[in-house]
């Protein structure tokens, strides 16, 4: 890589507003998945203390995706009428409340109800953050997406890698309070976001002519291709975390759960850091999507057959490629559509896409429970990934805003 290329790749607007924008996007991204990924490190306690089955755990982990999907429709309406800041502030508050409530119930149904509340908050956040990225750094949506995804991945790494040690060293028998502890800083983040309105555009609302265009357009082929891509990326993302513990349980290596989850999520940060430099150069090309998807799929059998502690490294390879794919998928709507079109496109992509991911994850958990072979849990993800790759050419052929 020449010095001129590196200089161009790293050329970021060096104003206080852009530094503030990137910093806020990173912090907001931190809470897009942190509260969801608290569950995998606590799977042994959920099974032993609360009596959850593998299918119950899969539902508890992927249920936020259903509420994210349904909440995206409301979030699209809220974005168009009240603006991105209100949508994001409301999402932060509801997400934190729902996560904290999961520390209280000791039965499966109340736990799921609290999870629904948490997922609704994440829906508001997930729908608003691409709009904020496009408003704050319209010429760098790839970089902005990589930055808030890096925050998302740091949140996952903290949840997956530090929850177990936190419980062992501090909470112990009060392990359920981990759900509340991780969201304690959220009020401070809400205060900073409120004050940032003086320096950064927040889009109070869309023009009235666009106000009714927030429901998904089921005739939009571009939306459906994004749905399949999101289904592929997010299913890889979640299934890796949900079904890694059963892989280790089957081979009596559960002591490697913490290091394997940490490796999976740490490698994701590496790819997101690289894409801060390269995302805008690669965004809109088909080959990165296809190559990255294939590499992520090939890493699955590698995890299944890795002997001993080598699974820690293969989990890292899997995490590297799944996060790279997820970053591209999150960046594509803002690259393809204008700010006025984003609420409608995002609501459709998230609504149908995360319903698809929920179905994939639950079906995978059911296949694992019925067959006793964790490898079959990844079969639905393979099918969706093939369909997603076949649709990339027509999706990227569309004009973008």
188-228 per-position pLDDT tens digit: 999 999 888 667 766 545 544 344 445 788 888 899 999 99
Q: What is the mean pLDDT of residues 151-160?
A: 83
- Dihedral of CA 128/130/133/139: which sign? negative
- Residue 329: the pLDDT is 92
CB atoms within 10 A of CB 394: 12
Residue whose C-alpha is closest to residue 230's, from 328, 321, 315: 328
Residue whose C-alpha is closest to residue 344's, from 215, 219, 208: 215
Q: What is the mean pLDDT of residues 291-301?
A: 93
- Residue 358: the pLDDT is 81
CA dist 373 and 247 (Å) reads: 9
256 contacts: CB under 8 Å, gap ≥ 6: 248, 309, 311, 312
Q: Angle between the 108-136 and 16-30 helix axes, to the nearest 10 degrees?
A: 160
Q: pLDDT confidence of 121, banded at 50, 70, 90?
A: very high
Report the phi/psi class of residue 172: left, alpha or beta, with left for phi > 0 and alpha for psi in -120 to 50.
left
Report the share of the chain in percent with pLDDT over 90. Answer: 26
- pLDDT at 186 > cutoff 90: yes
CA dist 271 and 325 (Å) reads: 10
363 contacts 380 by C-beta, under 8 angstroms: yes
* DSSP character at residue 106: -
- pLDDT at 394 > cutoff 50: yes
In whole numbers, what is the pLDDT of the chain averaged over residues? 83
Q: How far is CA 295 from CA 248, 318, 324, in A?
A: 22, 8, 11
Q: What does the H/E/C string look like for 214-238? A: CCCCCCCHHHHHHHHHHHHHHHHHH
Weakest mean pLDDT among 21-25, 181-185, 377-381, 394-398: 394-398
54 contacts 242 by C-beta, under 8 angstroms: no
- Residue 4: the pLDDT is 39
5 contacts: CB under 8 Å, gap ≥ 6: none
Residue whose C-alpha is closest to residue 346's, from 117, 79, 35, 63: 79
Q: pLDDT confidence of 8, banded at 50, 70, 90?
A: very low
* DSSP character at residue 200: S
CA dist 78 and 92 (Å) reads: 14
Superfamily of domain 16-396 in CATH is MFS general substrate transporter like domains (1.20.1250.20)
- Residue 9: the pLDDT is 40
- Counting Cα atoms < 13 Å in the Cβ hemisphere of 134 gives 24
Q: Which tokens in the block code for residue 48?
A: 């032993």
- Dihedral of CA 373/375/379/380: which sign? positive
């Amino acid at each position: 890589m020449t010095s001129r290329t590196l200089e161009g790749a790293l050329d970021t607007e060096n104003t206080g507003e852009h530094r503030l924008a990137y910093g806020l996007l990173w912090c907001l991204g931190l809470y897009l998945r942190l509260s969801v990924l608290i569950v995998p490190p606590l799977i042994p306690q959920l099974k032993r203390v609360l009596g959850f089955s593998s299918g119950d755990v899969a539902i508890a982990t992927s249920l936020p995706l259903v509420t994210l999907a349904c909440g995206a429709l409301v979030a699209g309406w809220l974005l168009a009428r009240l603006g991105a800041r209100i949508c994001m502030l409301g999402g932060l508050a509801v997400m934190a409340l729902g996560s904290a409530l999961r520390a209280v119930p000791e039965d499966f149904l109340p736990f799921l109800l609290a999870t629904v509340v948490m997922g609704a908050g994440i829906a508001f956040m997930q729908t608003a953050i691409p709009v904020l990225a496009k408003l704050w750094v319209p010429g760098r949506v790839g970089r902005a997406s990589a930055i808030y995804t890096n925050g998302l991945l740091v949140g996952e790494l903290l949840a997956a890698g530090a929850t177990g040690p936190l419980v062992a060293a501090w909470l112990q028998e009060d392990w359920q309070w981990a759900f509340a502890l991780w969201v304690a800083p959220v009020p401070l983040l809400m205060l900073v976001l409120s004050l940032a309105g003086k320096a950064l555009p927040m889009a109070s609302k869309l023009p009235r002519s666009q106000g009714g265009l927030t429901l998904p357009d089921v005739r939009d082929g571009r939306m459906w291709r994004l749905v399949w891509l999101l289904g592929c990326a997010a299913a890889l993302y979640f299934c890796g975390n949900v079904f890694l513990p059963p892989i280790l349980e089957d081979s009596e290596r559960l002591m490697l759960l913490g290091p394997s989850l940490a490796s999976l999520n740490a490698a994701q940060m590496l790819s997101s850091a690289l894409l801060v430099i390269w995302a805008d150069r690669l965004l809109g090309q088909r080959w990165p999507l296809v190559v990255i998807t294939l590499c992520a799929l090939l890493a699955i059998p590698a995890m299944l057959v890795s002997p001993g502690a080598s699974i820690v490294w293969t989990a890292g390879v899997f995490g590297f490629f799944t996060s790279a794919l997820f970053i591209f998928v999150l960046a594509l709507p803002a690259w393809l559509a204008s700010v006025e079109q984003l609420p409608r496109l995002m609501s459709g992509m998230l609504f149908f896409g995360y319903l698809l991911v929920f179905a994939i994850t639950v079906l995978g958990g059911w296949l694992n429970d019925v067959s006793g072979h964790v490898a079959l849990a990844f079969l639905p993800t393979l099918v969706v990934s093939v369909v997603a790759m076949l649709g990339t050419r027509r999706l990227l052929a569309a004009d973008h805003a």
